[in-house]
Amino acid sequence: MSVQDRVRVRETKLLSDKWYVLKTTTFDWKRRDGTWQTQSREHYDRGNGAVLLPYNLANRTVLLVKQFRYPAFVNGYDDLLIEAAAGLLDNAEPEARIRAEVEEELGYRLGEVRKVFEAFMSPGSVTEILHFFVAEYDASMRIGEGGGHPDEGEDIEVLELAIDEALAMIADGRIRDAKTIMLLQHLALTVFAKL
């Protein structure tokens, strides 16, 4: 039996579509014991996204961004977030979109990029699937300053950090962004561990 056979949607209501789409849905769920249970859930649809962490194997460095995130601030985080370059797909293919984001945010035009996995980031309430990429970079790939688009509210600082420092920043709480932590740990286990 597929999950689709275990869900009967009763009603879906639009709660907001000012920035992205927030809905509430009442549905029946067929439990493992065969009984049906009525549940209600809100779900936020902001579209799918992509994230990429550039690394320089010879220098043992990575490129990250530092920016203000209002939801983190309102939840008590009084600092700028350090993150891997990322963005919503906006109907583009994941690789094409992440290449454009890296150019806008970091100021680098990358060669080969490698997709490493996909993940739901907050499946209890957000529909987004995030496509995770890594790519090697060097100084010759720099085409600009980065920083994002000010007209989109972006005010991004580019950081080049040693991989060991970035991993230490996870441990001491200076890096708290889940997608970034996942990619840093991926590189630590699969790329930098081989040196």
- Decide if 88 contacts 127 (C-beta within 8 A): no
86 labelled ligand-binding? yes
State the DSSP H helix or E strand holding residue 180, giving kind and residue range, or none if neither.
Answer: helix 178-190
CA distance 173 to 2: 40
In the chain, the N- to C-terminal Cα span, in Å, equals 47
145 labelled ligand-binding? no
For the chain, the C-alpha Rg in angstroms (whole number) is: 19
* Strand runs labelled E in the chain: 7-16, 21-30, 36-45, 49-56, 61-67, 81-83, 85-88, 113-120, 129-136, 157-162
- Decide if 98 contacts 133 (C-beta within 8 A): yes
Q: Which residues are annotated as a binding site for Mg(2+)?
A: 86, 101, 105, 154
Annotated binding site: 86, 101, 105, 154
